[in-house]
Structure 1
Amino acid sequence: MVYSILATLISFAVVVLLTPKFIPFLQRLKMGQTIRELGPKSHYKKAGTPTMGGLVMMLGILVTCIIFFSKADGDLVFALFVTLIFGLIGFLDDYIKMVQKNRLNSEGGVLVPYLGMLPIQKLLLQFSAAGAVAVYAAFHPSIGTSIVVPFTDLNWDLGWLYIPFVIIAIVAVVNAANLTDGLDGLACGVTMIIVFFFLVFSLANGFISMNIFSASVIGACLGFLCYNAHPASIFMGDTGSMALGGAVVIISIFTRSELFILIAGGVYFIEALSVLLQVGYFKKTGGKRLFKMAPIHHHFELLGHHETKIVTCFWITTAVLVMISLLSLPIMFN
Protein backbone atom coordinates (compact mmCIF):
# COMPACT_ATOMS: atom_id res chain seq x y z
CA MET A 1 0.00 0.00 0.00
CA VAL A 2 2.86 2.37 0.83
CA TYR A 3 4.41 1.73 -2.59
CA SER A 4 1.07 2.52 -4.23
CA ILE A 5 0.81 5.88 -2.50
CA LEU A 6 4.42 6.82 -3.19
CA ALA A 7 4.21 5.76 -6.85
CA THR A 8 1.04 7.80 -7.31
CA LEU A 9 2.59 10.88 -5.70
CA ILE A 10 5.83 10.67 -7.69
CA SER A 11 4.08 10.23 -11.02
CA PHE A 12 1.65 13.03 -10.15
CA ALA A 13 4.50 15.38 -9.19
CA VAL A 14 6.46 14.73 -12.39
CA VAL A 15 3.45 15.39 -14.62
CA VAL A 16 2.03 18.35 -12.72
CA LEU A 17 5.44 20.08 -12.60
CA LEU A 18 6.56 19.40 -16.17
CA THR A 19 3.32 20.01 -18.06
CA PRO A 20 3.42 23.85 -17.64
CA LYS A 21 6.91 23.77 -19.20
CA PHE A 22 5.77 21.47 -21.97
CA ILE A 23 2.79 23.57 -23.10
CA PRO A 24 4.81 26.57 -24.42
CA PHE A 25 7.31 24.13 -25.95
CA LEU A 26 4.52 22.53 -28.00
CA GLN A 27 3.19 25.96 -28.93
CA ARG A 28 6.58 26.99 -30.31
CA LEU A 29 6.63 23.81 -32.40
CA LYS A 30 3.09 24.61 -33.64
CA MET A 31 1.80 21.30 -32.28
CA GLY A 32 -1.78 22.51 -32.00
CA GLN A 33 -4.95 20.44 -32.17
CA THR A 34 -6.78 20.28 -35.49
CA ILE A 35 -10.58 20.41 -35.17
CA ARG A 36 -12.73 18.60 -37.72
CA GLU A 37 -15.17 20.83 -39.61
CA LEU A 38 -17.86 18.18 -39.13
CA GLY A 39 -17.32 18.14 -35.36
CA PRO A 40 -19.43 20.01 -32.79
CA LYS A 41 -19.22 23.78 -33.31
CA SER A 42 -18.42 24.23 -29.61
CA HIS A 43 -15.05 22.59 -30.33
CA TYR A 44 -13.92 25.19 -32.87
CA LYS A 45 -12.51 27.37 -30.11
CA LYS A 46 -10.21 24.50 -29.10
CA ALA A 47 -8.31 24.69 -32.38
CA GLY A 48 -4.62 25.25 -31.76
CA THR A 49 -4.63 23.91 -28.20
CA PRO A 50 -1.30 22.08 -27.71
CA THR A 51 -1.60 18.33 -28.17
CA MET A 52 0.71 15.30 -27.66
CA GLY A 53 0.61 15.91 -23.91
CA GLY A 54 0.68 12.16 -23.52
CA LEU A 55 4.47 12.46 -23.75
CA VAL A 56 4.54 14.05 -20.30
CA MET A 57 2.24 11.36 -18.92
CA MET A 58 4.54 8.64 -20.26
CA LEU A 59 7.51 10.44 -18.73
CA GLY A 60 5.79 10.48 -15.33
CA ILE A 61 5.12 6.74 -15.56
CA LEU A 62 8.67 6.08 -16.78
CA VAL A 63 10.34 8.01 -13.95
CA THR A 64 8.17 6.27 -11.35
CA CYS A 65 8.92 2.81 -12.74
CA ILE A 66 12.67 3.54 -12.74
CA ILE A 67 12.53 4.63 -9.10
CA PHE A 68 10.63 1.50 -8.03
CA PHE A 69 12.40 -0.98 -10.30
CA SER A 70 14.35 -2.54 -7.41
CA LYS A 71 11.08 -3.20 -5.55
CA ALA A 72 9.46 -5.02 -8.47
CA ASP A 73 10.45 -7.48 -11.21
CA GLY A 74 10.65 -7.76 -14.99
CA ASP A 75 6.87 -7.54 -15.29
CA LEU A 76 7.08 -3.84 -14.42
CA VAL A 77 9.59 -3.26 -17.21
CA PHE A 78 7.49 -5.11 -19.77
CA ALA A 79 4.30 -3.28 -18.77
CA LEU A 80 6.16 0.01 -19.16
CA PHE A 81 7.57 -1.12 -22.52
CA VAL A 82 4.10 -2.01 -23.87
CA THR A 83 2.69 1.33 -22.72
CA LEU A 84 5.53 3.22 -24.40
CA ILE A 85 5.18 1.20 -27.63
CA PHE A 86 1.50 2.07 -28.00
CA GLY A 87 2.28 5.63 -26.98
CA LEU A 88 4.87 5.70 -29.77
CA ILE A 89 2.29 4.52 -32.31
CA GLY A 90 0.02 7.33 -31.15
CA PHE A 91 2.92 9.78 -31.30
CA LEU A 92 3.63 8.85 -34.92
CA ASP A 93 -0.01 9.47 -35.78
CA ASP A 94 0.00 12.82 -33.96
CA TYR A 95 3.28 13.88 -35.54
CA ILE A 96 2.14 13.04 -39.07
CA LYS A 97 -1.06 15.02 -38.46
CA MET A 98 0.96 18.05 -37.34
CA VAL A 99 3.35 17.85 -40.30
CA GLN A 100 0.45 17.55 -42.76
CA LYS A 101 -1.47 20.36 -41.06
CA ASN A 102 1.50 22.74 -41.14
CA ARG A 103 2.19 21.82 -44.77
CA LEU A 104 -1.46 22.50 -45.57
CA ASN A 105 -1.20 25.96 -43.99
CA SER A 106 2.07 26.78 -45.76
CA GLU A 107 0.63 25.80 -49.14
CA GLY A 108 -2.33 28.10 -48.79
CA GLY A 109 -4.94 25.50 -47.95
CA VAL A 110 -4.10 22.80 -50.50
CA LEU A 111 -6.23 19.79 -49.61
CA VAL A 112 -4.46 16.95 -47.79
CA PRO A 113 -6.46 13.71 -48.30
CA TYR A 114 -5.96 12.34 -44.78
CA LEU A 115 -4.47 13.84 -41.65
CA GLY A 116 -2.42 11.25 -39.77
CA MET A 117 -1.56 7.66 -40.51
CA LEU A 118 -3.92 5.73 -42.73
CA PRO A 119 -6.22 3.45 -40.68
CA ILE A 120 -4.62 0.36 -42.22
CA GLN A 121 -1.15 1.58 -41.24
CA LYS A 122 -2.24 2.23 -37.68
CA LEU A 123 -3.96 -1.15 -37.38
CA LEU A 124 -0.93 -2.94 -38.81
CA LEU A 125 1.32 -1.44 -36.15
CA GLN A 126 -1.21 -2.16 -33.41
CA PHE A 127 -1.76 -5.78 -34.43
CA SER A 128 2.00 -6.34 -34.74
CA ALA A 129 2.62 -5.03 -31.23
CA ALA A 130 -0.40 -6.91 -29.86
CA GLY A 131 0.79 -10.15 -31.44
CA ALA A 132 4.19 -9.86 -29.78
CA VAL A 133 2.57 -9.15 -26.40
CA ALA A 134 0.15 -12.07 -26.76
CA VAL A 135 2.91 -14.57 -27.53
CA TYR A 136 5.01 -13.25 -24.63
CA ALA A 137 2.06 -13.56 -22.24
CA ALA A 138 1.11 -17.06 -23.39
CA PHE A 139 4.58 -18.38 -22.58
CA HIS A 140 5.10 -16.28 -19.45
CA PRO A 141 5.32 -18.63 -16.42
CA SER A 142 3.09 -16.49 -14.20
CA ILE A 143 0.48 -15.70 -16.86
CA GLY A 144 -0.07 -18.65 -19.18
CA THR A 145 -3.28 -19.10 -21.11
CA SER A 146 -5.77 -18.86 -18.23
CA ILE A 147 -7.96 -15.87 -17.41
CA VAL A 148 -10.05 -15.06 -14.35
CA VAL A 149 -13.82 -15.28 -14.79
CA PRO A 150 -15.63 -12.37 -13.06
CA PHE A 151 -17.95 -13.18 -10.14
CA THR A 152 -16.58 -16.71 -9.80
CA ASP A 153 -13.50 -18.36 -8.35
CA LEU A 154 -12.81 -19.99 -11.72
CA ASN A 155 -9.83 -19.71 -14.04
CA TRP A 156 -10.70 -20.33 -17.67
CA ASP A 157 -7.91 -21.91 -19.70
CA LEU A 158 -8.28 -20.73 -23.29
CA GLY A 159 -5.46 -22.89 -24.61
CA TRP A 160 -4.42 -21.94 -28.15
CA LEU A 161 -7.30 -19.46 -28.35
CA TYR A 162 -5.54 -17.28 -25.78
CA ILE A 163 -3.22 -15.62 -28.30
CA PRO A 164 -5.92 -14.40 -30.73
CA PHE A 165 -8.07 -13.44 -27.72
CA VAL A 166 -5.33 -11.22 -26.30
CA ILE A 167 -4.51 -9.70 -29.69
CA ILE A 168 -8.14 -8.69 -30.21
CA ALA A 169 -8.42 -7.46 -26.61
CA ILE A 170 -5.35 -5.24 -26.94
CA VAL A 171 -6.34 -3.66 -30.25
CA ALA A 172 -9.94 -3.18 -29.06
CA VAL A 173 -8.99 -1.52 -25.77
CA VAL A 174 -6.33 0.74 -27.30
CA ASN A 175 -8.72 2.02 -29.97
CA ALA A 176 -11.64 2.30 -27.53
CA ALA A 177 -9.49 4.45 -25.24
CA ASN A 178 -8.53 6.54 -28.26
CA LEU A 179 -12.19 7.07 -29.21
CA THR A 180 -13.00 8.09 -25.63
CA ASP A 181 -10.55 10.99 -25.84
CA GLY A 182 -12.97 13.50 -27.33
CA LEU A 183 -13.87 15.83 -24.46
CA ASP A 184 -11.75 17.70 -21.93
CA GLY A 185 -10.71 15.30 -19.17
CA LEU A 186 -12.87 12.43 -20.41
CA ALA A 187 -10.31 9.76 -21.33
CA CYS A 188 -7.98 10.79 -18.53
CA GLY A 189 -10.63 10.56 -15.81
CA VAL A 190 -12.29 7.41 -17.11
CA THR A 191 -8.94 5.61 -17.44
CA MET A 192 -7.83 6.68 -13.98
CA ILE A 193 -10.97 5.19 -12.44
CA ILE A 194 -10.61 1.96 -14.44
CA VAL A 195 -6.99 1.59 -13.36
CA PHE A 196 -8.04 2.10 -9.74
CA PHE A 197 -9.92 -1.20 -10.03
CA PHE A 198 -6.76 -2.94 -11.24
CA LEU A 199 -4.80 -1.30 -8.42
CA VAL A 200 -7.15 -2.87 -5.87
CA PHE A 201 -7.16 -6.15 -7.80
CA SER A 202 -3.35 -6.29 -7.87
CA LEU A 203 -3.14 -5.48 -4.16
CA ALA A 204 -5.62 -8.25 -3.33
CA ASN A 205 -3.67 -10.75 -5.43
CA GLY A 206 -0.15 -9.71 -4.46
CA PHE A 207 0.90 -8.45 -7.89
CA ILE A 208 3.53 -6.00 -6.63
CA SER A 209 4.74 -4.88 -10.06
CA MET A 210 1.22 -4.21 -11.33
CA ASN A 211 0.40 -2.48 -8.06
CA ILE A 212 3.25 -0.02 -8.62
CA PHE A 213 2.51 0.35 -12.32
CA SER A 214 -1.21 0.97 -11.75
CA ALA A 215 -0.38 3.62 -9.17
CA SER A 216 2.02 5.35 -11.56
CA VAL A 217 -0.69 5.50 -14.25
CA ILE A 218 -3.20 6.92 -11.76
CA GLY A 219 -0.69 9.57 -10.67
CA ALA A 220 0.02 10.55 -14.27
CA CYS A 221 -3.71 10.90 -14.98
CA LEU A 222 -4.26 12.99 -11.85
CA GLY A 223 -1.39 15.31 -12.74
CA PHE A 224 -2.51 15.70 -16.34
CA LEU A 225 -6.11 16.39 -15.33
CA CYS A 226 -4.92 19.59 -13.66
CA TYR A 227 -4.38 20.94 -17.19
CA ASN A 228 -6.69 18.74 -19.27
CA ALA A 229 -9.92 19.37 -17.33
CA HIS A 230 -12.33 21.82 -18.96
CA PRO A 231 -11.26 24.24 -20.33
CA ALA A 232 -8.22 22.19 -21.34
CA SER A 233 -4.91 23.97 -21.85
CA ILE A 234 -3.37 20.82 -23.35
CA PHE A 235 -4.62 17.59 -24.93
CA MET A 236 -3.03 14.17 -24.57
CA GLY A 237 -3.46 13.36 -28.27
CA ASP A 238 -3.27 9.85 -29.68
CA THR A 239 0.09 9.70 -27.91
CA GLY A 240 -1.63 9.69 -24.55
CA SER A 241 -4.86 7.86 -25.32
CA MET A 242 -3.11 4.90 -26.97
CA ALA A 243 -0.53 4.76 -24.19
CA LEU A 244 -3.31 4.69 -21.58
CA GLY A 245 -5.19 2.01 -23.50
CA GLY A 246 -2.01 -0.03 -23.68
CA ALA A 247 -1.43 0.44 -19.95
CA VAL A 248 -4.94 -0.70 -19.03
CA VAL A 249 -4.80 -3.84 -21.14
CA ILE A 250 -1.27 -4.90 -20.12
CA ILE A 251 -2.20 -4.58 -16.45
CA SER A 252 -5.22 -6.80 -17.07
CA ILE A 253 -3.01 -9.35 -18.87
CA PHE A 254 -0.45 -9.58 -16.07
CA THR A 255 -3.24 -9.95 -13.49
CA ARG A 256 -5.13 -12.39 -15.79
CA SER A 257 -8.23 -10.19 -15.43
CA GLU A 258 -8.86 -9.28 -19.07
CA LEU A 259 -12.60 -9.98 -18.82
CA PHE A 260 -12.97 -7.35 -16.11
CA ILE A 261 -12.26 -4.64 -18.68
CA LEU A 262 -15.68 -5.42 -20.15
CA ILE A 263 -17.21 -4.34 -16.84
CA ALA A 264 -14.90 -1.72 -15.34
CA GLY A 265 -14.08 -0.34 -18.79
CA GLY A 266 -17.69 -0.32 -19.94
CA VAL A 267 -17.51 3.34 -21.00
CA TYR A 268 -14.66 2.49 -23.37
CA PHE A 269 -16.82 -0.07 -25.11
CA ILE A 270 -19.95 2.06 -25.15
CA GLU A 271 -17.92 4.69 -27.00
CA ALA A 272 -16.51 2.14 -29.46
CA LEU A 273 -19.86 0.40 -29.94
CA SER A 274 -21.56 3.71 -30.74
CA VAL A 275 -19.10 4.24 -33.61
CA LEU A 276 -19.61 0.72 -34.97
CA LEU A 277 -23.40 1.06 -34.77
CA GLN A 278 -23.30 4.48 -36.41
CA VAL A 279 -21.19 3.27 -39.32
CA GLY A 280 -23.20 0.08 -39.77
CA TYR A 281 -26.55 1.88 -39.61
CA PHE A 282 -25.32 4.59 -41.99
CA LYS A 283 -24.30 2.01 -44.60
CA LYS A 284 -27.42 -0.12 -44.24
CA THR A 285 -29.90 2.77 -44.46
CA GLY A 286 -28.10 4.64 -47.22
CA GLY A 287 -27.04 7.66 -45.22
CA LYS A 288 -29.25 7.80 -42.12
CA ARG A 289 -27.67 8.19 -38.69
CA LEU A 290 -28.50 6.32 -35.51
CA PHE A 291 -26.87 9.01 -33.35
CA LYS A 292 -26.47 12.72 -34.03
CA MET A 293 -22.74 12.07 -33.98
CA ALA A 294 -20.39 9.33 -32.83
CA PRO A 295 -18.63 8.56 -30.53
CA ILE A 296 -21.63 8.90 -28.28
CA HIS A 297 -20.23 11.73 -26.13
CA HIS A 298 -20.65 13.99 -29.18
CA HIS A 299 -24.26 12.81 -29.49
CA PHE A 300 -24.95 14.14 -26.00
CA GLU A 301 -23.17 17.39 -26.85
CA LEU A 302 -25.44 17.94 -29.85
CA LEU A 303 -28.45 17.24 -27.63
CA GLY A 304 -27.44 20.37 -25.72
CA HIS A 305 -25.64 18.93 -22.69
CA HIS A 306 -22.58 20.84 -21.51
CA GLU A 307 -19.20 19.19 -21.96
CA THR A 308 -18.46 19.21 -18.23
CA LYS A 309 -21.78 17.53 -17.43
CA ILE A 310 -21.15 14.76 -19.97
CA VAL A 311 -17.64 14.13 -18.66
CA THR A 312 -18.85 14.04 -15.06
CA CYS A 313 -21.62 11.57 -15.93
CA PHE A 314 -19.15 9.33 -17.76
CA TRP A 315 -16.80 9.44 -14.76
CA ILE A 316 -19.66 8.52 -12.43
CA THR A 317 -20.74 5.71 -14.74
CA THR A 318 -17.20 4.33 -14.73
CA ALA A 319 -17.01 4.58 -10.94
CA VAL A 320 -20.26 2.60 -10.63
CA LEU A 321 -18.96 -0.05 -13.05
CA VAL A 322 -15.74 -0.29 -11.04
CA MET A 323 -17.72 -0.78 -7.83
CA ILE A 324 -19.67 -3.57 -9.53
CA SER A 325 -16.36 -5.14 -10.57
CA LEU A 326 -15.06 -4.89 -7.01
CA LEU A 327 -18.05 -6.91 -5.79
CA SER A 328 -16.49 -9.95 -7.42
CA LEU A 329 -13.37 -9.83 -5.23
CA PRO A 330 -14.95 -11.38 -2.07
CA ILE A 331 -16.33 -14.21 -4.25
CA MET A 332 -12.88 -14.88 -5.69
CA PHE A 333 -11.13 -14.96 -2.34
CA ASN A 334 -13.68 -16.84 -0.22
Structure 2
Amino acid sequence: MLYYLLVPLREYFIFFNVFRYITVRTALAGITAFLICLIFGPWVIKMLNKYQIGEEISPDGPASHLEKRGTPSMGGILIIAATIIPAFLWGDLSNTYVRLAMSTMLLFGLLGFWDDFLKIKRTKPKGLIIRHKLFFQIGISAVIGLILIYLGFTGEFSLHLSLPFFKKWFPYFGWFYLPWIMLILVGSSNSVNLADLHPSSVMEKKIAESFACTA
Protein backbone atom coordinates (compact mmCIF):
# COMPACT_ATOMS: atom_id res chain seq x y z
CA MET A 1 0.00 0.00 0.00
CA LEU A 2 2.74 2.48 0.97
CA TYR A 3 4.56 1.43 -2.20
CA TYR A 4 1.83 3.04 -4.31
CA LEU A 5 1.71 6.13 -2.11
CA LEU A 6 5.42 6.84 -1.83
CA VAL A 7 6.86 5.89 -5.23
CA PRO A 8 4.80 8.47 -7.22
CA LEU A 9 6.23 11.19 -4.95
CA ARG A 10 9.65 10.70 -6.54
CA GLU A 11 8.54 13.19 -9.21
CA TYR A 12 8.54 15.88 -6.52
CA PHE A 13 11.20 14.63 -4.08
CA ILE A 14 14.03 12.48 -5.41
CA PHE A 15 14.39 10.82 -1.99
CA PHE A 16 11.21 8.79 -2.55
CA ASN A 17 12.87 7.04 -5.47
CA VAL A 18 14.52 4.66 -2.98
CA PHE A 19 11.16 2.96 -2.39
CA ARG A 20 11.34 1.55 -5.91
CA TYR A 21 14.14 -0.78 -4.83
CA ILE A 22 13.31 -4.20 -3.43
CA THR A 23 16.29 -4.11 -1.06
CA VAL A 24 14.98 -0.97 0.65
CA ARG A 25 11.43 -2.27 0.96
CA THR A 26 12.70 -5.66 2.14
CA ALA A 27 14.65 -3.99 4.93
CA LEU A 28 11.62 -1.90 5.89
CA ALA A 29 9.43 -5.03 5.89
CA GLY A 30 11.89 -6.74 8.23
CA ILE A 31 11.89 -3.75 10.56
CA THR A 32 8.07 -3.64 10.49
CA ALA A 33 7.85 -7.36 11.31
CA PHE A 34 10.33 -6.89 14.15
CA LEU A 35 8.32 -4.01 15.62
CA ILE A 36 5.04 -5.91 15.36
CA CYS A 37 6.53 -8.85 17.28
CA LEU A 38 8.26 -6.57 19.78
CA ILE A 39 5.22 -4.37 20.48
CA PHE A 40 2.30 -6.75 20.15
CA GLY A 41 3.98 -10.11 20.88
CA PRO A 42 3.98 -9.86 24.70
CA TRP A 43 0.39 -8.56 24.69
CA VAL A 44 -0.84 -11.39 22.43
CA ILE A 45 0.92 -14.01 24.58
CA LYS A 46 -0.51 -12.42 27.75
CA MET A 47 -4.05 -12.50 26.35
CA LEU A 48 -3.73 -16.11 25.19
CA ASN A 49 -2.41 -17.13 28.60
CA LYS A 50 -5.11 -15.11 30.37
CA TYR A 51 -7.88 -16.96 28.57
CA GLN A 52 -5.97 -20.25 28.91
CA ILE A 53 -5.70 -20.75 25.18
CA GLY A 54 -3.11 -23.47 25.21
CA GLU A 55 -2.45 -27.07 24.35
CA GLU A 56 -2.31 -29.91 26.85
CA ILE A 57 1.06 -31.69 26.76
CA SER A 58 0.96 -35.36 27.65
CA PRO A 59 3.49 -36.33 30.36
CA ASP A 60 3.95 -39.64 28.54
CA GLY A 61 5.38 -37.96 25.45
CA PRO A 62 9.00 -37.13 24.62
CA ALA A 63 10.84 -34.95 27.12
CA SER A 64 11.42 -32.33 24.43
CA HIS A 65 7.65 -31.83 24.13
CA LEU A 66 7.34 -31.00 27.82
CA GLU A 67 9.27 -27.78 27.16
CA LYS A 68 6.19 -26.51 25.30
CA ARG A 69 4.08 -26.70 28.45
CA GLY A 70 2.67 -23.24 29.09
CA THR A 71 3.31 -22.14 25.50
CA PRO A 72 0.03 -20.73 24.14
CA SER A 73 -1.57 -22.07 21.00
CA MET A 74 -3.00 -19.91 18.20
CA GLY A 75 0.38 -18.27 17.83
CA GLY A 76 -0.49 -18.07 14.15
CA ILE A 77 -2.39 -14.85 14.89
CA LEU A 78 0.89 -13.07 15.58
CA ILE A 79 2.78 -15.01 12.94
CA ILE A 80 0.38 -14.10 10.15
CA ALA A 81 0.05 -10.48 11.26
CA ALA A 82 3.84 -10.03 11.36
CA THR A 83 4.09 -11.40 7.82
CA ILE A 84 1.02 -10.11 6.00
CA ILE A 85 1.04 -6.54 7.35
CA PRO A 86 4.66 -5.77 6.28
CA ALA A 87 4.03 -7.42 2.89
CA PHE A 88 0.84 -5.39 2.44
CA LEU A 89 2.57 -2.15 3.42
CA TRP A 90 5.84 -2.52 1.52
CA GLY A 91 5.17 -5.13 -1.16
CA ASP A 92 4.30 -4.53 -4.79
CA LEU A 93 0.77 -5.97 -4.78
CA SER A 94 0.68 -5.95 -8.58
CA ASN A 95 3.30 -8.71 -8.45
CA THR A 96 1.67 -12.13 -8.92
CA TYR A 97 4.15 -13.82 -6.61
CA VAL A 98 3.57 -11.39 -3.75
CA ARG A 99 -0.17 -12.08 -3.91
CA LEU A 100 0.47 -15.81 -4.20
CA ALA A 101 2.80 -15.81 -1.19
CA MET A 102 0.28 -13.88 0.90
CA SER A 103 -2.55 -16.21 -0.17
CA THR A 104 -0.46 -19.26 0.73
CA MET A 105 0.25 -17.83 4.18
CA LEU A 106 -3.44 -17.11 4.79
CA LEU A 107 -4.58 -20.57 3.64
CA PHE A 108 -2.11 -22.37 5.88
CA GLY A 109 -2.99 -19.92 8.66
CA LEU A 110 -6.68 -20.80 8.39
CA LEU A 111 -5.80 -24.49 8.57
CA GLY A 112 -3.71 -23.87 11.69
CA PHE A 113 -6.51 -21.81 13.24
CA TRP A 114 -8.97 -24.66 12.64
CA ASP A 115 -6.55 -27.14 14.21
CA ASP A 116 -5.99 -24.98 17.31
CA PHE A 117 -9.69 -24.13 17.60
CA LEU A 118 -10.55 -27.83 17.92
CA LYS A 119 -7.92 -28.20 20.65
CA ILE A 120 -9.21 -25.20 22.59
CA LYS A 121 -12.83 -26.33 22.45
CA ARG A 122 -11.60 -29.70 23.76
CA THR A 123 -13.88 -31.43 21.24
CA LYS A 124 -10.67 -32.90 19.82
CA PRO A 125 -7.80 -32.36 22.30
CA LYS A 126 -5.26 -33.31 19.65
CA GLY A 127 -6.81 -31.07 16.99
CA LEU A 128 -7.19 -32.29 13.45
CA ILE A 129 -6.39 -35.92 12.80
CA ILE A 130 -2.86 -36.03 11.42
CA ARG A 131 -3.87 -37.61 8.12
CA HIS A 132 -6.61 -35.00 7.64
CA LYS A 133 -4.20 -32.16 8.38
CA LEU A 134 -1.63 -33.62 6.01
CA PHE A 135 -4.33 -34.03 3.35
CA PHE A 136 -5.22 -30.33 3.49
CA GLN A 137 -1.57 -29.27 3.59
CA ILE A 138 -0.77 -31.37 0.53
CA GLY A 139 -3.91 -30.07 -1.22
CA ILE A 140 -3.02 -26.41 -0.64
CA SER A 141 0.60 -27.05 -1.66
CA ALA A 142 -0.49 -28.86 -4.82
CA VAL A 143 -2.72 -25.96 -5.90
CA ILE A 144 0.06 -23.43 -5.29
CA GLY A 145 2.55 -25.68 -7.09
CA LEU A 146 0.30 -26.08 -10.13
CA ILE A 147 -0.15 -22.31 -10.35
CA LEU A 148 3.63 -21.81 -10.28
CA ILE A 149 4.18 -24.54 -12.88
CA TYR A 150 1.54 -22.95 -15.12
CA LEU A 151 3.36 -19.63 -14.79
CA GLY A 152 6.59 -21.47 -15.60
CA PHE A 153 5.26 -22.99 -18.81
CA THR A 154 3.88 -19.60 -19.88
CA GLY A 155 7.27 -17.99 -19.39
CA GLU A 156 6.44 -15.90 -16.31
CA PHE A 157 8.26 -18.15 -13.85
CA SER A 158 11.47 -20.13 -14.16
CA LEU A 159 11.28 -23.89 -13.60
CA HIS A 160 15.05 -24.01 -13.16
CA LEU A 161 16.43 -24.48 -9.67
CA SER A 162 19.07 -22.08 -8.40
CA LEU A 163 21.55 -23.86 -6.14
CA PRO A 164 23.94 -22.18 -3.68
CA PHE A 165 27.61 -22.20 -4.72
CA PHE A 166 26.74 -23.18 -8.33
CA LYS A 167 26.66 -19.96 -10.33
CA LYS A 168 26.31 -21.54 -13.77
CA TRP A 169 24.28 -24.67 -13.05
CA PHE A 170 20.50 -24.29 -13.01
CA PRO A 171 18.88 -27.76 -13.26
CA TYR A 172 15.52 -27.81 -15.02
CA PHE A 173 12.81 -29.39 -12.88
CA GLY A 174 9.75 -29.16 -15.11
CA TRP A 175 6.91 -31.14 -13.55
CA PHE A 176 9.25 -32.34 -10.80
CA TYR A 177 8.89 -28.82 -9.45
CA LEU A 178 5.45 -29.82 -8.12
CA PRO A 179 6.62 -32.38 -5.50
CA TRP A 180 9.53 -30.06 -4.65
CA ILE A 181 7.18 -27.15 -3.95
CA MET A 182 4.84 -29.41 -1.97
CA LEU A 183 7.74 -30.68 0.15
CA ILE A 184 8.94 -27.14 0.91
CA LEU A 185 5.47 -25.79 1.76
CA VAL A 186 4.33 -28.74 3.88
CA GLY A 187 7.67 -28.86 5.71
CA SER A 188 7.65 -25.10 6.34
CA SER A 189 4.05 -25.20 7.56
CA ASN A 190 4.78 -27.92 10.09
CA SER A 191 7.96 -26.24 11.32
CA VAL A 192 6.00 -23.06 12.12
CA ASN A 193 3.22 -25.14 13.68
CA LEU A 194 5.73 -26.79 16.02
CA ALA A 195 7.12 -23.41 17.05
CA ASP A 196 3.80 -21.97 18.34
CA LEU A 197 4.72 -18.83 20.28
CA HIS A 198 8.01 -20.05 21.68
CA PRO A 199 10.01 -16.80 22.04
CA SER A 200 13.22 -18.32 20.69
CA SER A 201 11.72 -19.04 17.29
CA VAL A 202 8.94 -16.63 16.38
CA MET A 203 10.95 -13.45 15.85
CA GLU A 204 13.44 -14.96 13.41
CA LYS A 205 10.73 -16.69 11.38
CA LYS A 206 8.61 -13.59 11.01
CA ILE A 207 11.42 -11.37 9.84
CA ALA A 208 12.49 -13.99 7.29
CA GLU A 209 8.93 -14.46 6.02
CA SER A 210 8.38 -10.73 5.67
CA PHE A 211 11.52 -10.64 3.50
CA ALA A 212 10.16 -13.44 1.30
CA CYS A 213 6.76 -11.79 0.80
CA THR A 214 8.12 -8.40 -0.26
CA ALA A 215 8.97 -7.79 -3.91
TM-score greater than 0.5 by the shorter chain: yes
Q: Which amino acid aligns with 1:151?
A: F
- SS of the equivalent of 1:127 reads helix
Q: Which amino acid aligns with 1:167?
A: M
Q: Which amino acid aligns with 2:102?
A: L
Counterpart of 2:190 (choices 168, 175, 182) is 175
Q: Which amino acid aligns with 1:116?
A: G
CA-to-aligned-CA distance 1:311-333 (integer Å, 9 cap, x gap) = xxxxxxxxxxxxxxxxxxxxxxx
Equivalent residue, structure 1, for 2:145:
134
Distance in 2 separating the partners of 1:130 and 1:190: 23
Relative to structure 1, is the Cα distance of residues 64 and 169 closer, same or farther in structure 2, using a 3 angstrom cutoff?
Answer: closer
Equivalent residue, structure 1, for 2:56:
34
- SS of the equivalent of 2:171 reads strand
> Aligned-residue CA RMSD in angstroms?
3.3
Q: What's the TM-score once normalised by structure 1's chain length?
A: 0.48
Equivalent residue, structure 1, for 2:181:
166
Identity percentage over the alignment? 24
Counterpart of 1:21 (choices 29, 43, 61) is 43
Relative to structure 1, is the Cα distance of residues 183 and 27 closer, same or farther in structure 2, using a 3 angstrom cutoff?
Answer: closer
Equivalent residue, structure 2, for 1:155:
170
Deviation at 1:17, TM superposition (A): 1.7
Q: Which amino acid aligns with 1:58?
A: I
Unaligned residue ranges in structure 1 (runs of 5+):
104-111, 200-209, 214-334
Deviation at 1:142, TM superposition (A): 3.4
- SS of the equivalent of 1:148 reads coil
Deviation at 1:139, TM superposition (A): 1.6
CA-to-aligned-CA distance 1:207-260 (integer Å, 9 cap, x gap) = xxx4737xxxxxxxxxxxxxxxxxxxxxxxxxxxxxxxxxxxxxxxxxxxxxxx
Q: Which amino acid aligns with 2:98?
A: L
Q: What's the TM-score once normalised by structure 2's chain length?
A: 0.71
Q: Which amino acid aligns with 1:131?
A: A
Relative to structure 1, is the Cα distance of residues 183 and 38 closer, same or farther in structure 2, using a 3 angstrom cutoff?
Answer: farther
| Contact 1:26 1:32 (8 Å CA) reproduced | yes
Relative to structure 1, is the Cα distance of residues 121 and 26 closer, same or farther in structure 2, using a 3 angstrom cutoff?
Answer: same
Q: Which amino acid aligns with 1:118?
A: I
CA-to-aligned-CA distance 1:268-297 (integer Å, 9 cap, x gap) = xxxxxxxxxxxxxxxxxxxxxxxxxxxxxx
Deviation at 1:36, TM superposition (A): 1.9
Counterpart of 1:12 (choices 26, 34, 39) is 34
